[in-house]
Amino acid sequence: MAAQKKEGPAVLKPRAGTVKKIRIQYYRSAIATPVKHKLVIRGLGFTRLNQIVERVDNESVRGMVKTVPHLVRIVESK
């Protein structure tokens, strides 16, 4: 007898094309900042100064931006 697999709560996936995105700019150097801030910058996907990246607008990304507001800024979408 095979054990039945229990399923967790249903995960709702957003429809294609409806995922909100936010554009973030890395505008101030992280040279004299704590290591945690440098890791957050790297985690957001930044590799160089004045770079703009587009990320999914969710709580985790917003929390990362909130951690380093003195180093990044949210850029208006075109």
Are β-strands 21-26 and 72-75 bridged in parallel, bridged antiparallel, or unpaired? antiparallel
Predicted local confidence at residue 5, as pLDDT = 66
Tokens read off for 22? 């936010």
Residue 40 DSSP one-character state:
H
| pLDDT tens track for 3-61 | 666 666 666 666 666 889 999 999 999 999 999 999 999 999 999 999 999 999 999 99
**pTM, two decimal places:** 0.75
Q: Is the pLDDT of residue 62 over 70?
A: yes
The residues with which 56 forms a beta bridge, in sequence order, are 21
| Dist. CA 65–CA 74, nearest whole Å | 8
| Dist. CA 43–CA 78, nearest whole Å | 24
Phi and psi angles of residue 43, each rounded to the nearest 5 degrees, phi first? -65, -30
Domain that holds residue 54: 32-75
Predicted local confidence at residue 1, as pLDDT = 59
Predicted local confidence at residue 47, as pLDDT = 97
49 occurs within a structural domain: yes
65 occurs within a structural domain: yes
Domain count, the chain: 1
Q: Is the pLDDT of residue 76 over 90?
A: no
